[in-house]
Amino acid sequence: MSVGSSYASSKLESDRVPDKFPVGMKILLVDDDPICLAVVQRMLLNCQYDVTTCSEATRALSLLRENKGAFDLIISDVHMPDMDGFRLLELVGLEMDLPVIMMSGDTRFNVVMKGVSHGACDFLTKPVRMEELQNIWQHVVRRKWLDSKEIERSGSVEEADRGRQVTDDSEYASTVNDGIDCSWKYQRKKRDAKEEDDNELDNIDPSSSKKPRVVWSVELHQQFVNAVNQLGIDKAVPKRILELMNVPGLTRENVASHLQKFRLYLKRLSGVAQHHTGLNSPLYGASSNAKVGQLGRFDFQALAVSGQISPETLAALQDELLGHPPCNLAMPTIDQQVLQQASVQRNNSVTFERGIAFGQPLLKGQAVSSFPVWPANDLGALGSASNLGGLNTSQNSNMLMTMLQQPQPQTVPSESNHAINVQRSCLVAPAKSSNKFQVQGNPMHINQDSTIISSQSSANFQPGNAVVPVIQDSAVVTSNSSTSLKTGNNLFVTNHRSTILPSQSLTGISLGTDSGLLNQGSIIVPSQPLNSSQAGSNSILSSQNSMLVPSHLSGSLRTDKNIIPITHNSSLNNSSSLVNYNRLPTQSNVMPSSMKQVLDNLAAVDSFSVPVSMNSQVLSSTGSSTSWQLHSPDISISHPNGTHSLVPSSCNIEATDRLLVKLPDKGLGKNLGFVGKGTCLPSRFAVDDIESPTNDLTNSSAYTGDDGYLQNQDIFGISGTLQSGHCATTSFK
Amino acid sequence: MSLMALREQLNGLVNSMFLEGLLDDQFEQLQMLQDESSPGFIAELITLFCGDSERILAELTKLLDQAVVDYQKVDAFVHQLKGSSSSVGAQHVKLACVQFRQFCEEHNKEGLKGIYFFRCLRALNVVKHEYYLLRGKFDTMLQLEQRIQAYESKQQI
């Protein structure tokens, strides 16, 4: 299904495809089964390809690293003893950007899906037949072609007519994205949780290539993400990104291909989010830090807005929020109105399950799909994330936010993306209401009324509050609850920055857990402790700096989300627990995914020691805004009780300067909401959008206005409202 | 025996294997792959397959002989054998592996663990049986091929 064949062929020359292609195409074949290796090799030779075989993945990787230009395509088996095929796939995608085809005798849906989500171009069933191998050259051409296309394109965002079929490469055109989202929708079904130790993926540090291939180091990637956030995921075109990044020696082509991968990664994240697996890994699993940052803003908002959440859900959420403070509301209740408006699509309602950290997610049981809302306990935010993903399409929803879990895989309605896309509007998850909440612009701002949930109180979401949406996305959350913040779960998802915070309110809810997902510097701060509540788990995951501060509310931290460890820098942590997608064990049930772990970790009743010091990693955002920088290095979340929550310290949240997460400068213990139990770290994410920085979140009372940081400081524990009093607010600077 | 007779015998053998289901159309594909540029392809493959399979069967026997059986490892090996037998076209062996895998997966069911263990043992025996049956025929095939090739090269001289 390559793009119009004639089209392609006419482009061949310009695409620098060698003469007589595909004859002589260089393939690297990796399989531990010698028989299969011999058979496929023979077949490939008969197709006149040039084949190199390898029976170990590690050896294959070193071959690839040493000779970057030596291969055009890789074919790899899934089950190998020394390294999982999917991991190899990811590494290759990150480091070398070569098309990879997976092979397996196991053709179950989830296995194939895993291939897709990790970026495989194709999936072959063993025994492999000759006919299937004859056309594999198309993957090479397609990739080259896409790359060159991206380069040519300069600044035009929409590729409306591109209408390319969804390939594994994500298109960045927003219109195309929609299409892609749709197609992905059905792909997103349950997916296996990625068990791999993606955590270690941080820092894949390929040897520097001698060839033009660029090594996307953490810093470079962060710059990239910053630039993307600054531009807005929709408008991010390689040329502009390149300009913003201002890295000598980097070409537009490099940026273009990296952007593709990034988008793919985001999609994957969001897709994964949908699954129960929750945040873990998928979100960050992106292994490779490169991906991490990508979380992209979480369009949580969008999701929420997008109506992913059914009105009932929202209503339910609201009820919950109102009714039971302890209930975690995962989503900030959004005004129905807003939601309605937003709901562009309603995908399945997201069901939130209780207990989710995020504050009870929205609905009990209803799955809110797409709604980024923090979701529900079950699945962990990812579900929502997925939604978000969907939503964002343009944005790249990163959603990590585990928002809602999605129990339903519903794919995020792409439409919702629209909704959300709203330019950065904040999305607010409305709880209950389904509709998408669109939040537009500025941080958190939920457009229109911002809804936010949270019934009860507070301001909810106010634009601004809540979390922020940080640039790009913002997250937010918050939920209601009195006093400020809402617990909402913030979800943030943002990719860059955004923080999320969640809720606060004392009463529990909060929850929302934030899910933030930050990809880049985003912070997530969990909502506050307040009892009950949810904790929404914060799942944050920020990859790349971002910290997560999971706070969980007492007891329940639901985290469904995983807090994802931020790769790179951010370290949350408690030692690793946060950082890696751990899930915090929240009391609540289900926490799917990592969030739970994270939360658990965080919450762990026992102190986590957050590696406080968050290192000052605070990345100062230079120039590019949008990423938060988490500077507060110390986010130590210490729980008064002694439990420390993890605050993502080192999150490098790249928010450029604006980062709002205030880390416990205020005194860590205090802030770190993340307390073993239910403390949430309120991190403020002040994400400021570069674009429309409404940053000042001041509007919400709770929120600290200054950077638009969402969450009022109080929430974070800062003020005693939080139960644990730990709210880590991280301010990103 | 004359060359032609040898060839007929070989063809007859292979055809009967197809008919019985010992071989499936994957093997046909392999036959098509063998050509002037790789005359010994099938022979090499068969030899490789036999060696590898016997290694796996030995491992499986050992694993099932343990006091506490590690079913994950068992499953991994069976999966591997299934992959290689399907790549070669050894249909019966592949099917026996599929069945074996099912038993492996079920072994976790509560209660009756002993029963599943026996089923796994029995499944392994079936796989072995099928394999050795096939192996015998493969041996004959290889011998015939060698003789044919010897004849052909003699004739060329």
Contact A372, A304 (CB under 8 A): yes
Give the pLDDT confidence of A496-521 residue by residue, as tens digits. 444 444 444 433 333 344 444 344 44
Identify the CA nearest to A651 among candidates A563, A522, A501. Answer: A522
A284 has pLDDT over 90: no
B149 has pLDDT over 60: yes
Q: Which of A35, A105, A129 sits opposite B79 (nearest CB)?
A: A105
A399 has pLDDT over 80: no
CA angle A542–A248–A628, rounded 5-degree value: 25
Residues of A in contact with B38 (CB under 8 A): 42, 45
CA distance B154 to B150: 6
Does A394 map to a domain? no
Can you give the residue range of the structural domain that contains A135?
26-150
Does A226 map to a domain? yes
pLDDT band at B94 (very low <50, low <70, confident <90, very high): very high
| Average of per-residue pLDDT values in chain A | 51
pLDDT band at B107 (very low <50, low <70, confident <90, very high): low
Most confident of A314-328, A444-458, A615-629, B142-156: B142-156
In Å, how far is A40's CA from the nearest CA of chain B? 9
Does A137 map to a domain? yes
A528 has pLDDT over 60: no
A587 alpha-carbon distance from chain centroid: 24
Q: Which of B33, B44, B83 sits opposite A36 (nearest CB)?
A: B83
Q: Which residue of A has its CA nearest to B47?
A: A35
Residues 65-84 of B with CB under 8 A from A: 76, 79-80, 82-84
B24 has pLDDT over 60: yes
ipTM of the complex: 0.93
Classify burial at B108, counting beta carbons within 10 Å of its beta carbon; exposed 0-12, middle 13-18, buried 19 or more: exposed
CA gyration radius for chain A? 22
**Same structural domain, A130 and A41:** yes
In Å, how far is B66's CA from the nearest CA of chain A? 22
Q: Which residue of A has its CA nearest to B40?
A: A42
Total number of domains in chain A: 2
Does A238 map to a domain? yes
Verify whether the Cβ–Cβ distance A127 to B87 is below 8 Å.
yes
Q: Which of A35, A79, A129 sits opposite B88 (nearest CB)?
A: A35
Residues 29-58 of B with CB under 8 A from A: 29-30, 32-33, 38, 41, 44-45, 48-49, 52
Q: Who contacts A61 (Cβ-Cβ below 8 Å, separation ≥6)?
A: A83, A88, A91, A92
- Alpha helices by DSSP H, B65-90: 71-88
Residue with more model confidence, A417 or A211: A211
Report pLDDT for A143.
84
Q: Which of A32, A39, A128 sits opposite B45 (nearest CB)?
A: A39
A150 has pLDDT over 60: yes
Residue with more model confidence, A633 or A16: A16
B41 alpha-carbon distance from chain centroid: 16
**Same structural domain, A141 and A242:** no
Q: Does B87 touch chain A (CB under 8 A)?
A: yes
- Alpha helices by DSSP H, chain B: 3-20, 25-33, 41-64, 71-88, 91-106, 113-156
Residues of B in contact with A32 (CB under 8 A): 80
A191 has pLDDT over 80: no
A182 has pLDDT over 70: no
Indicate which CATH number applies to the domain containing A264: 1.10.10.60
B50 alpha-carbon distance from chain centroid: 7
**Same structural domain, A32 and A115:** yes
Given A210, A242, A271, the domain boundary residue is A271
Report pLDDT for A236.
80
- With b for 16 or more beta-carbon neighbours within 10 A and e for fewer, the A520-536 pattern comes to bbbbbbbbbbbbbbbbb
Residues of A in contact with B82 (CB under 8 A): 105
Indicate which CATH number applies to the domain containing A100: 3.40.50.2300
Does A131 map to a domain? yes
Residues of A in contact with B26 (CB under 8 A): 127, 129
Residues of A in contact with B43 (CB under 8 A): none
- C-alpha separations of A251 from A15, A182, A215, A238 in Å: 17, 31, 12, 9
**Same structural domain, A233 and A142:** no
CA distance A336 to A465: 18
Does A523 map to a domain? no
- Which uninterrupted H or E stretch holds A626? none
Average pLDDT of A100-124? 90
DSSP-based three-state secondary structure for A582: strand
Classify burial at A398, counting beta carbons within 10 Å of its beta carbon; exposed 0-12, middle 13-18, buried 19 or more: buried
Verify whether the Cβ–Cβ distance A42 to B41 is below 8 Å.
yes
Residues 20-79 of A with CB under 8 A from B: 32-36, 38-40, 42-43, 45-46, 79
A445 has pLDDT over 60: no
pLDDT band at A16 (very low <50, low <70, confident <90, very high): low
In Å, how far is B87's CA from the nearest CA of chain A? 5
pLDDT band at B61 (very low <50, low <70, confident <90, very high): very high
Does A510 map to a domain? no
Residue A623, both tokens: 């120039």
Residues of A in contact with B86 (CB under 8 A): 105, 126-127
Verify whether the Cβ–Cβ distance A79 to B79 is below 8 Å.
yes
Given A119, A150, A181, the domain boundary residue is A150
Return the percentage of chain A with pLDDT > 70, whole number.
Answer: 26
**Same structural domain, A33 and A111:** yes
In Å, how far is B153's CA from the nearest CA of chain A? 24
In Å, how far is A34's CA from the nearest CA of chain B? 8
B81 has pLDDT over 80: yes
Q: Which of B32, B52, B83 sits opposite A105 (nearest CB)?
A: B83
Residue with more model confidence, B81 or A660: B81
Verify whether the Cβ–Cβ distance A33 to B76 is below 8 Å.
no
Q: Who contacts A298 (Cβ-Cβ below 8 Å, separation ≥6)?
A: A372, A385, A388, A392, A397, A398, A399, A400, A401, A403, A469, A473, A474, A475, A491, A492, A493, A494, A495, A498, A500, A515, A516, A517, A518, A522
Q: Which residue of A has its CA nearest to B76?
A: A79
Most confident of A62-76, A148-162, A181-195, A287-301: A62-76
Verify whether the Cβ–Cβ distance B26 to A127 is below 8 Å.
yes
Average pLDDT of A401-415? 35
Average pLDDT of A218-237? 81
Verify whether the Cβ–Cβ distance B79 to A38 is below 8 Å.
no
- Answering whether pTM is above 0.80, one says no
Verify whether the Cβ–Cβ distance A105 to B29 is below 8 Å.
no
A294 has pLDDT over 80: no
Verify whether the Cβ–Cβ distance B87 to A126 is below 8 Å.
yes
Task: Determine the longest span between alpha carbons in chain B, in angstroms.
Answer: 69
Report pLDDT for A433.
36
In a mutational test of the B interface, the residue from A31, A35, A111 whose CB has the highest number of chain B CBs within 10 Å is A35
Average pLDDT of B11-21? 94
Contact A447, A476 (CB under 8 A): no
Identify the CA nearest to A546 among candidates A467, A438, A430, A457. Answer: A467
**Same structural domain, A139 and A61:** yes
Q: Which of A38, A105, A129 sits opposite B29 (nearest CB)?
A: A129
Verify whether the Cβ–Cβ distance A33 to B30 is below 8 Å.
no
Q: Which of A35, A42, A105 sits opposite B49 (nearest CB)?
A: A35
- φ and ψ at A14, to 5 degrees? -70, -20
Most confident of A47-56, A210-219, A516-525: A47-56
Most confident of A41-45, A341-345, B37-41: A41-45
Report pLDDT for A275.
52
Residue A368, both tokens: 């809110």
Residues of A in contact with B88 (CB under 8 A): 35, 39
B132 has pLDDT over 90: yes
CA distance A263 to A269: 10
Return the percentage of chain A with pLDDT > 90, whole number.
Answer: 5
Given A250, A271, A292, the domain boundary residue is A271
Task: Kindly report each contact of residues B37-40 with a partner whose C-beta sits within 8 Å and lies 24 or more positions away, as own/partner.
Answer: B38/A42, B38/A45, B39/B149
Size of interface A-B (CB pairs under 8 A): 59
In Å, how far is A129's CA from the nearest CA of chain B? 7
Report pLDDT for A29.
93
Report pLDDT for A200.
39
Verify whether the Cβ–Cβ distance B48 to A46 is below 8 Å.
no
Residue with more model confidence, A31 or A559: A31
Does A289 map to a domain? no
Q: How many CB atoms lie within 10 A of CB A610?
A: 42
Residues of A in contact with B32 (CB under 8 A): 130
